[in-house]
Structure 1
Amino acid sequence: MTPRRTYHLILWFLLLTGLTSDAQQYTLPLNRTLQLEVDRGVALGDTAAHLGLKPLLQSELDLTHVFRYEKDSTKYYYRATVKLFRDNLFIVDQPNFKATLDPLFDLNVGHDFSDITGLQDTALIYTNTRGAVLMGQIGKAVSFQSFIFENQSHFPTYLTDYIDRYEVVPGQGRIKEFNVNEFDYNSSYGWVSFTPITPLNIQVGHGKHFVGHGYRSVLLSDAASNYPYLKAHYNALQGKLHYDWMYAGLITLKRLPRGEVPESLFRRKGLSMYYLSYVPHPKVEVGLFEAVVWERVDTSGTRPLEAAQFIPVIGVNSAIQGMDAHNNTLLGVNFRVNPLHQLMVYGQLALDNFNGKVGYQAGIRAFDVLMPFLHLQLEYNRATSGTYAATYADQSYTHMNQSLAHPSGSQFEEIIGAVNYRHRRWFGQVKAHVLLHEEGTAGSLTPELVQPGFPGVSQTNIIDAQVGIFVNPKSTLNFSVGFIHRYWKLSGVDHRTDWLYFTLRTALFNKYYDF
């Protein structure tokens, strides 16, 4: 059978099966502002929901009172204002095919008032991001989303140092440097979501995931760069039980031998992820987590895929291999409890082995404090030395030199406090971090990148304040003004950042520059 014929058969299969399902299969963007509104609805209501593994399927959520999905009752008199303030830019709406196309951009300009480099008086801190997002639905069972970005940036000194060291913009793409301390990089997201029968959803794409109910995760975070993946999701017991299996392809940014090709490939590794979630009561959710990082390259070259990587049952690989096997295994528990109206208590435990390599999280969130949409959060995170690392460095719990859990990797302790508020289209946030991190030790996730001569425990204090307005909630287009104060010190050496910025952007995804 030719590839063209196979393609048409698959397309017809998706079209025909798409006529039998009953809901859109889009996923909710990994955006903290949207997630806060979903969590608020669950805390204030009595509907059972699984919130532990994100991105969430929109078909499994009540989005009636979530800001981006609320009906806009404002009366507009011109087509241009409708497009600017309410609708998607381009819309196709046919009986069995729907699609929207919108521009994506992040135009950010600012200044670091504490910059002591030679560029302090001349260089603007900026990001110039241009892109587009295409979203569509075939029938009722197939949805697709595609995002592509091209970026140029000049970052504050602490981010520039990070990028020079790890060769990647945090959570985004590999870099190509131009001019002085300016970077060109791109990133892309995309997936197809298919629900052949109501309990089963299958996704194939290029993106990232988050396990947890807090700001950070010690199990799996969206702070690292995107990866290709195949994911299956199943719900049972009338929605009380959810089960997810995912296989993802990771890379290390270390090259294989070049051979005869113009540019050698990066060393690869595989990730199998399993998550079993149970909601016995609308106010209680418990999840079991397992992740295995598989070796794909050894001294003899690229290894063939092991059949065990595709076993779709949680716990089997850990039971067979144990915690100290050649492939790196991480086990965990994730939970939330809503003991009182408007209150959520949550936490995580990550177990790397039985010799003290652990990570854990404890947090509390309060919704609608004193007034609607005023939310408070307090969170504690910690990981001991060597957690997520592996005997073989390539098997560490990382992707593109970035931790798949907390951005600081291991050997850290952190407290986060946050206040969020929204009134109609206006929003504001104040967030504070205190982070203690043991630097330059053998337990690091990427030991080949440790800078010698800087051991000790660093302390980072961050205050991040932002206020803005949503121009178009549907596209998440917003304008904001923000200020980030960051103070880092270690063994008598310190560095300060006072970054004022103005941003016009479509904020569909989280960015983590707070480490």
Structure 2
Amino acid sequence: MKRLVVLLLLLVQYNLFSQDDLFNERPPMFPDCKNASIESQQKCFNENVFQLLFNKFKVPQNVLDDNYKGEVVILFEVDTTGQFKIIYVDAMYDELKDEVERVFSEFPKIKPGIYNGNPTFKQYSITLKIPLEDKVVETQDLRQENEISKIERQAKLEYDEVNASIKSFSNKSYSSQLNIPFTHADYSRFDRSMNLVGTNSHTASKPFVYNDVSKYFDFKAETEALKKETSSWVGRKLWNEHLVQVEANDFWFTVDPILDLEGGKDTNADFSTTYNNTRGLLVQGGLGKHFNFYTTVYESQGRFAQYVNDYAESLKAFGPDPAIVPGRGIGKRFRTDSYDYPVAEAYLSYAPAKFINIQFGHGKNFIGDGYRSLFLSDVASPHPFLKLNTSFWKIKYTNTWMWLKDVRPDATVDKAFLTKYMATHYLSWNVSKRLNIGLFESVLWTNSNNRGFDINYLNPVIFYRAIEFETGQGAGNALLGASAKYKWNDNVNLYSQFILDEFSLTDVTAGQKSWKNKFGYQLGVKYFNAFKVNNLMLQFEYNRVRPYTYSHNTIVLNYGHNNQSMAHLWGANFSEAILIGRYHYKRWFGNAKIVLGVRGLDYNDGTDNFSYGGDIYRDYNDRPFDTGIKVGQGNKTDTFYANLQGGYLINPASNLKIFTDITFRNFNPEVETASAFKSNTVWFNIGLRTDLFNWYFDF
């Protein structure tokens, strides 16, 4: 009897253990799986999930039209209440992802999975074949509660959760702190919108950031208006979108190729064709709401019109490389008569508060409302800079610190180019709804007495002239300037600049045209929607700069970088008149430009080696006389330049354009020298270009 009781107790214990084991763990349960055996419940769950998917899923029409064959990988969860939830979907088409979301939203609520007798959530992955196949696909259970810990499970799902955070691209660049790439033609699209009577905008300090311009110009509306209807991936990337565009809640970025592929003919050149072959990459994006980044890398080879090649070689730096491609950088010899000129530009942009933007990078800046700038221009090569833009009330204050190079042999030490520094202040004040005035100052200095980057010039609210006296008058070169803009009405703007390098009141009142009166001025007008033609902008501008402006008796302290001017392309000792017309209609555009000018060049012929004030890389003490100084003195040269361009915007996202243009140039010095000789150029060109910066060939 005793043995029988023990046996019965053992049987009860075994039965209880078996029952506990049966309900220890099971998958989520559909109603028709209730009577399935433990071993069959997972299979029953798989069949139900697939059948629901197969019955409800409708392949989008554009996927069918493309005859797409592939897979949709779905990561989903059944939570502790039995509710289905999508975690992540990997598919080639956004429409496939949207369809998966729709189907799962219609899944019924079922009994949740069980672990240790308690409801638990279960995660699975399933692969759906496109076109749909009428067969059950096994789901993979991603949760092994009895094998791995909770922290391990989270780690294993981390990559998928990152993928799950990706959402449809909405182009956050339009509200970002990124710069709008500065080209005169593209800026004319929103120039009128920013200059309407009554706006509190500031338009001189360039490039603009998208967040500032978006208050006046609707980039998204323009993008939609230009959008081409296309359903294929290739069509979208060619006509409408960035090549790569990724967005999540707290970051976004885009990647685009850069192209500048051109071919042409200079009728005045000995060689057969001109060309430019640029390939590169552009990466930009944002982290959070206040931090943005931008980088471009270019690899280029080119041979330009003969007068451009001659000018590039006249800029030659110390060393074996034969040229500096104007506006770009040092050009190595490529083949026998071409240049290889790699360039990289990048910056970080941060807005810690609504009223301030800080940028640090390698690139170019511009101050002014005109085509030219007498303050700070973008005609020289890119360089390192730190910029601080502060906006409040009716004020915008721009501080820029730059690291420049003097690449002349005389300034080179141990085969290293000399570094010089430049700091600028520009204060823009909207006096009224129509009138804006600006105050400008800049200073250049070098590492004299091993002072390096002088901390005195980091102060953003000082007058540089006073600091120049404190550090020694020969230690720097300070310039002052003023600007004004008047909005005649919504369609007509008047603008001006005045730059003062040196001024002697005594000499002015003496009326003898002293060399010390080094100054220049600009007068201009813009006419938007000219003659009631929408999107037609006409511009007239006159610039005049007296001899020896921007130069210095210590040459390294001149207003230059990489043997190029940091202000006007022509240096000094010139006057010019410019007429520009710009028009765009949908994706089509046309630009026309005429430049008429008089310049005073040096002779440099061995018998007359005086500086007549046009070359800012000459010591002004080499002048031939102190009085009677006038614009155009020296080897007087008449210049005529005309350019007509037309094209089509292929992709607004990357600013890829196809264009053709023709250039006429007549350069006529009174006396021909080795560096200044008569030439007549007709230059035809056609190309495919990612338009991100200004080319200046009007010298």
TM-score scaled by length of structure 1:
0.88
- Give the total of aligned pairs: 475
Which of the residues 327, 337, 353 maps onto 1:197?
353
- Contact 2:185–2:591 (CA<8 Å) still a contact in 1? no
- Contact 2:179–2:209 (CA<8 Å) still a contact in 1? yes
**Alignment of 1:287 onto 2:438:** yes
Q: Which residue of 1 aligns with 2:417?
A: 266
Deviations 1:141-177 (A, max 9, x none): 0001101111101111111111111021111010111
**Change beyond 3 A, Cα 1:59–1:110:** same
**Alignment of 1:26 onto 2:209:** no
**2-structure distance, mates of 1:499, 1:307:** 48
Greater alpha carbon shift after TM alignment, 376-385 vs 60-69: 60-69
**Change beyond 3 A, Cα 1:66–1:212:** farther
Which secondary structure state, in structure 1, belongs to the residue aligned with residue 465 of structure 2? helix
Identity in percent? 31
Which secondary structure state, in structure 2, belongs to the residue aligned with residue 352 of structure 1? strand
Q: Which residue of 2 aligns with 1:402?
A: 564
- Contact 2:543–2:575 (CA<8 Å) still a contact in 1? yes
Q: Which residue of 2 aligns with 1:331?
A: 480
**Change beyond 3 A, Cα 1:182–1:257:** closer
- Contact 2:245–2:252 (CA<8 Å) still a contact in 1? yes
Structure 1 residue 113: Cα displacement = 1.6
Greater alpha carbon shift after TM alignment, 57-66 vs 428-437: 57-66
Q: Which residue of 2 aligns with 1:142?
A: 291
Deviations 1:373-413 (A, max 9, x none): 11111100011010000110000000100000001000011
Code of the aligned partner of 2:274 = I
**Correspondence list, 1:5-404, <5 A:** 23-44=175-196, 46-62=198-214, 64-65=217-218, 70-72=223-225, 73-115=227-269, 117=270, 119=271, 123-167=272-316, 168-237=324-393, 240-254=394-408, 259=414, 264-297=415-448, 303-315=451-463, 317-321=464-468, 325-354=474-503, 355-369=516-530, 370-404=532-566
Code of the aligned partner of 1:194 = Y
**Change beyond 3 A, Cα 1:288–1:347:** same
Greater alpha carbon shift after TM alignment, 343-352 vs 284-293: 284-293
**Change beyond 3 A, Cα 1:257–1:275:** closer
Code of the aligned partner of 2:545 = A
**Change beyond 3 A, Cα 1:68–1:473:** farther
- Contact 2:635–2:671 (CA<8 Å) still a contact in 1? no
CA-based RMSD of the aligned residues comes to: 2.1
Structure 1 residue 233: Cα displacement = 1.4
**2-structure distance, mates of 1:43, 1:60:** 13
Q: Which residue of 2 aligns with 1:13?
A: none
Structure 1 residue 66: Cα displacement = 5.2
Structure 2, unpaired ranges of 5+: 1-173, 317-323, 504-515, 603-609, 623-632, 673-677
- Contact 1:401–1:446 (CA<8 Å) still a contact in 2? yes
The structure whose residues are more often helix, as a share, is 2
**Change beyond 3 A, Cα 1:160–1:233:** same
Structure 1 residue 79: Cα displacement = 1.7
Deviations 1:158-210 (A, max 9, x none): 11111111021111010111223211101111100001111121111001111
**2-structure distance, mates of 1:342, 1:218:** 24
Code of the aligned partner of 2:368 = G
Greater alpha carbon shift after TM alignment, 287-296 vs 136-145: 287-296
**Change beyond 3 A, Cα 1:104–1:282:** farther
Structure 1 residue 278: Cα displacement = 0.9
Structure 1, unpaired ranges of 5+: 1-21
Q: Which residue of 1 aligns with 2:630?
A: none
**2-structure distance, mates of 1:162, 1:290:** 30
Code of the aligned partner of 1:215 = Y
- Contact 1:38–1:66 (CA<8 Å) still a contact in 2? no
TM-score scaled by length of structure 2:
0.65
**2-structure distance, mates of 1:169, 1:161:** 10
**Alignment of 1:479 onto 2:631:** no
- Contact 1:294–1:309 (CA<8 Å) still a contact in 2? no
**2-structure distance, mates of 1:125, 1:221:** 27
Structure 1 residue 34: Cα displacement = 2.1
The structure whose residues are more often strand, as a share, is 1
Code of the aligned partner of 2:458 = F
Which of the residues 388, 400, 424 maps onto 2:586?
424
